[in-house]
Structure 1
Amino acid sequence: MFAGVVATAAELQDVSAFAHGASSGWTYPPACCHGDSMTGECSSIPSTTVTPSPDGYVIVLRPGDHRKVTHKNRYLVPYDSVIPSGDDNFHICLHPTEEHENCFFAPAEAI
């Protein structure tokens, strides 16, 4: 029984090692963010980078908008793929490269 408890604790530790929290205190889902607050691919983004369109949110990021962005990138996120954020900010996870939007979070009132 003790070995099972140790394995469970190790599994929980592994999950927390791959997920990290937003600066406002909520945690990105592990499927969205790998790494920590310094190396993870999730980050809040300025609301000015997000524009609603008929097909979903258009997000245009430039260097400085997100720690992984090194050149201008454009993403289209269908409305049915948007995840409610844990705060009143927009967040995006870029994985495996900055050209790939993995998860996009929007404030509840924007969904």
Structure 2
Amino acid sequence: MAGVIVAAAALKDVSAFAHSADSWTYPPACCHGDPVTGECGKIPSITVTPRPYGYEIILRPGDHRKVTHQNRYFVPYDVVIRSGDDNFHICLHPTEEHENCFFAPANAM
């Protein structure tokens, strides 16, 4: 019984460090457990363009809460993570110039 309590406490601690989209939770490795700075967030689909080898993403201020100037990212298809909803999401860490995780809806993969 003590092992179950310890395991439940550990799971609770992990979820406390991850933050959520509207209906699902970003993996802790993507958001680094920082819900205050909002490293992960939904982005407009118009900012995402499929290219032959991956997605090109151009974000401007207002597209993601961490973006303060225009940034361009390229994400190869083999590292894209399926999003838990029908939206694109991106995690920017350690700065807005660095894409840490990118999520695409199932119908875009």
TM-score by length of 1: 0.88
How many equivalent residue pairs? 108
Instruction: Give runs of aligned pairs for residues 12-91 of structure 1, distance below 5 A.
Output: 12-23=11-22, 25-33=23-31, 34-36=33-35, 38-91=36-89
Secondary structure at the residue paired with 1:13?
helix
CA distance in 1, matches of 2:4, 2:107: 41
**Aligned positions of 1:90-105 closer than 5 A:** 90-105=88-103
RMSD value over aligned CA atoms?
A: 1.5
Moved over 6 A (4+): none
Q: What are structure 1's unaligned runs of at least 5 residues?
A: none
TM-score (norm 2): 0.89
Which amino acid is 2:85 matched to?
D
Question: Sequence identity of aligned pairs in percent?
Answer: 76
